[in-house]
């Protein structure tokens, strides 16, 4: 039973990583659905299910973070997906935060702003979020961080 529960956690983690990775592909520029699938496989070395990719793209679109245009490919009309300006900004915020978390893990003595990823040498701004003391360079970063956290939480909940 314990093993099964752990496996469930694991799958959830992988699927969140997949979403994160799909965002990095979209960030590179406009892409067809199938090219997202093939780029994912090429880089991660693992297939990603279309049943994860397409609903995720649709959710992003409903939130105004992705838009699509139709392009003719031979006889067929295909959707090209791309991030909106807001979508790009949000992704960049998430990537910086992720990069910040990675640097903090390799250089534990370094304080990193949890939102923008910049180095915080002294001062900075601290706030307890979800029971964890979190460091930011300024109060504005703390506000944006909480907003993005709510956003990513809502994405994960909707997919379930």
* Interface contacts to Zn ion, rule CB under 5 A: 113, 115-116, 137, 141
Least Å from the CB of residue 72 to Zn ion: 44
Using the minimum distance from each CB to Zn ion, give the nearer residue, 37 or 141.
141
- Residue 65 exposure: Cα atoms within 13 Å on the Cβ side: 19
Using the minimum distance from each CB to Zn ion, give the nearer residue, 87 or 117.
117
Give, in order, the Cα–Cα distances in Å from 158 to each of 61, 86, 105, 140, 144: 14, 20, 30, 27, 21
155 phi-psi bin (left φ>0, alpha ψ -120 to 50, beta other): alpha
Least Å from the CB of residue 34 to Zn ion: 37
Least Å from the CB of residue 97 to Zn ion: 9
Least Å from the CB of residue 106 to Zn ion: 19
The full 3-state SS of 34-84, as one line of letters, equals HHHHHHHHHHHCCCCCHHHHHHHHHHHHHCCCEEEEEEEECCEEEEEEEEC
CB 136 within 8 A of CB 142: yes
Using the minimum distance from each CB to Zn ion, give the nearer residue, 25 or 137.
137
Using the minimum distance from each CB to Zn ion, give the nearer residue, 52 or 118.
118
Using the minimum distance from each CB to Zn ion, give the nearer residue, 37 or 117.
117
Least Å from the CB of residue 105 to Zn ion: 18
């Amino acid at each position: 039973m314990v093993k099964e529960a752990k496996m469930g956690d694991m799958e959830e983690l992988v699927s969140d990583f997949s979403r994160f990775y799909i965002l990095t592909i979209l960030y590179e520029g406009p892409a067809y659905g199938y090219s997202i699938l093939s780029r994912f496989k090429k880089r991660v070395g693992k297939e990603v299910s279309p049943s994860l990719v397409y609903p995720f793209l649709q959710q992003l679109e409903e939130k105004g973070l992705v838009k699509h245009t139709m392009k003719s490919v031979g006889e067929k009309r295909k959707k090209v997906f791309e991030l909106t300006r807001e979508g790009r900004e949000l992704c960049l915020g998430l990537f910086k935060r992720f990069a910040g978390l990675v640097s903090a893990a390799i250089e534990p003595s370094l304080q990193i702003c949890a939102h923008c990823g910049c180095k915080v040498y002294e001062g900075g701004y601290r706030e307890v979020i979800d029971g964890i003391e979190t460091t930011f360079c300024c109060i504005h970063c703390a506000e944006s961080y909480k907003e993005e956290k709510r956003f990513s939480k809502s994405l994960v909940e909707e997919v379930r």
